[in-house]
Amino acid sequence: MKKSISTSIYLFGLIVVLLTSCKKEDKVVTPSGLRSDPGMALPGAFVTIYGTNMQDIVSIKFGNVDAAFSPIYNTESNIFTTVPTNALYGKQKITIVNRSGQTASLDFTVKQPFPIINSFTPESGPVGDIVTISGNYFRNIKSVSIGGTTVTEITDSTLVNRLSFKIPTGASSGLLTVVTAGGSVSSTNLLSVGERAVLIADFDGGGIRPNGTSWYTAGDIDSRTIVNANPAPFTGNFLKLIPKTASTAGYAGIQNYDLSSGSQTFGITTAAANTTLKFEVNNNGKTGTVLQVIVAYGTGNYAKNVNINGSGWSTVAIPLSDLKSGYGSGTDIPNPSLITTVKFFFQGYATAAMEANIDNVRFAY
């Protein structure tokens, strides 16, 4: 009987000890004394959170946004994480949660990145037209402007990677500038205000066939270069085209490469009478310059000769209904929706010094 009682007392004591030990082992203390390095950072940046009782973290949030971290590197004194790419910008709390549901937080600032402009459409249009910019980090917008004119009506700013606005009264052609809490950025291409057009080439990287490598020479061309001087530019770079002084091939010109084996059009949907081929041109003092301006598709070439005999830059505007088949000798006019090629060919270059500096080739409608 004595032995039985002793055994019972022993077992009871052992159970108490075990229970007490389990309680001590299972007890998790709330994290405290939190600080981060750095205290502010851009989305995607690496952050270390320091403190005490930091073990067994199961969740980290920047504001209400979950952050990625690896429990493998979680210690009693620190844990590594990154600022979520979709975190809200500005001052907020970082909150950590351990496996017992205990939380702790600290102040942190997510820096807003500089805005990015990738492209905008359309690249031209009249006052009142809607322009949409594609890019990134369009949040906390302070201003949008065209050249020096501030946009007063932003029609869509709900997406971080897209921004739409109306071209305001008084605006003139210029670069687009977006200013946010993160900084400012300007477009590389001009928005052309005053006409709605399909830009073929501005020779600064804008348009369907934007630069010199998008065009090829034919016949007696002596020089074809992309320059921004001699003469002074209209806007940015332009195409300088000089024919030989003697005719061996019988023709001299330039035309854009076809978009896709000659089958892809420029996407023009308006009628010939309502569509105008426009470009800026400067003869650089060669007042005898004559250009045959041509649009083509298939085997059809629709053309008109233009005397470039003024001084300085001028704008040539030719309604497509003025371009005639058979290189200008026929009566048919082009179908704008079928056009795949624009050509500029010199006429009479063997009898007169000629030069054509060309910029901003486009179809206005």
What does the pLDDT look like over 144-162, one tens digit per residue?
A: 999 989 999 998 767 789 9
pLDDT for res 2: 47
- Residue 214: φ, ψ to 5°: -90, 0
Half-sphere exposure of 96 (CA within 13 A, CB side): 30
Half-sphere exposure of 30 (CA within 13 A, CB side): 8
Strands 141-146, 300-308: pairing is unpaired
Which of 110, 141, 175 terminates a domain? The answer is: 110
Rounded Cα distance, 136 and 114, in Å? 9
Q: Is residue 292 part of a domain?
A: yes
Are residues 89 and 219 located together in one domain of the fold?
no
Which stretches does DSSP call E strand in 182-251?
183-193, 197-201, 215-219, 221-227, 238-243
Helix, coil or strand: residue 61: strand
pLDDT for res 16: 46
What does the pLDDT look like over 260-311, one tens digit per residue?
A: 765 689 999 999 999 999 999 999 999 999 999 999 999 999 999 999 999 9
- Letter for the amino acid at 176? L
Q: What is the mean pLDDT of the chain?
A: 90
Identify the domain containing residue 84 by its residue range: 32-110
Q: Is residue 169 part of a domain?
A: yes
318 strand-pairing partners: 277
Q: Is residue 6 part of a domain?
A: no
Q: Is residue 40 part of a domain?
A: yes
Are residues 161 and 292 located together in one domain of the fold?
no
Which of 158, 193, 228 terminates a domain? The answer is: 193
User: Which percentage of the chain shows pLDDT scores above 90?
Assistant: 79
- Indicate if the pLDDT at residue 136 is higher than 70: yes
Are residues 121 and 224 located together in one domain of the fold?
no
Beta carbons within 10 angstroms of residue 227's beta carbon: 14
Confidence of residue 9 (pLDDT cuts 50, 70, 90): very low
Are residues 184 and 325 located together in one domain of the fold?
no
Are residues 352 and 233 located together in one domain of the fold?
yes
pLDDT for res 262: 58
Confidence of residue 17 (pLDDT cuts 50, 70, 90): very low
- Residues near 158 by Cβ (< 8 Å), separated by ≥ 6? none
| pTM confidence score | 0.60
User: Which percentage of the chain shows pLDDT scores above 70?
Assistant: 91
Peptide bond into 231 cis (omega under 30): yes
Q: Are 138 and 157 in contact (CB under 8 A)?
A: yes
As given in the structure block, the two tokens for residue 153 are: 């009506």
Are residues 222 and 287 located together in one domain of the fold?
yes
Q: Is residue 24 part of a domain?
A: no
Rounded Cα distance, 304 and 241, in Å? 19
Are residues 210 and 332 located together in one domain of the fold?
yes
- Letter for the amino acid at 337? S
**Number of helices and strands (H, E) in the chain?**
1, 28
What does the pLDDT look like over 301-344, one tens digit per residue?
A: 999 999 999 999 999 999 999 999 999 999 999 999 999 999 99
Are residues 49 and 98 located together in one domain of the fold?
yes
How much is the CA Rg of the chain, to the nearest whole Å?
35
What does the pLDDT look like over 219-234, one tens digit per residue?
A: 999 999 999 999 999 9
- Work out how many domains the chain is built from and give that number: 3
pLDDT for res 29: 86
What does the pLDDT look like over 99-114, one tens digit per residue?
A: 999 999 999 999 999 9
Helix, coil or strand: residue 180: strand
pLDDT for res 14: 47
Are residues 156 and 99 located together in one domain of the fold?
no
- Indicate if the pLDDT at residue 131 is higher than 90: yes
Are residues 254 and 327 located together in one domain of the fold?
yes
Are residues 252 and 333 located together in one domain of the fold?
yes
Q: Distance of CA 65 to CAs 43, 68, 112, Å? A: 12, 10, 16
Query: For residue 288, what is the domain's CATH number?
Result: 2.60.120.430
Which of 161, 193, 225 terminates a domain? The answer is: 193
pLDDT for res 275: 97
Query: For residue 132, what is the domain's CATH number?
Result: 2.60.40.10
pLDDT for res 22: 45
Burial class (CB in 10 A: 0-12, 13-18, 19+), 328: middle
Q: Tell me the mean pLDDT in the region 69-83.
A: 94
Q: Are 133 and 115 in contact (CB under 8 A)?
A: no
Rounded Cα distance, 131 and 123, in Å? 8
Q: Is residue 260 part of a domain?
A: yes
Q: Tell me the mean pLDDT in the region 184-211.
A: 90
Q: Is residue 316 part of a domain?
A: yes
Strands 40-41, 103-110: pairing is parallel
- Indicate if the pLDDT at residue 10 is higher than 80: no
pLDDT for res 261: 60
Are residues 353 and 205 located together in one domain of the fold?
yes
Q: Are 185 and 114 in contact (CB under 8 A)?
A: yes
Q: Is residue 136 part of a domain?
A: yes
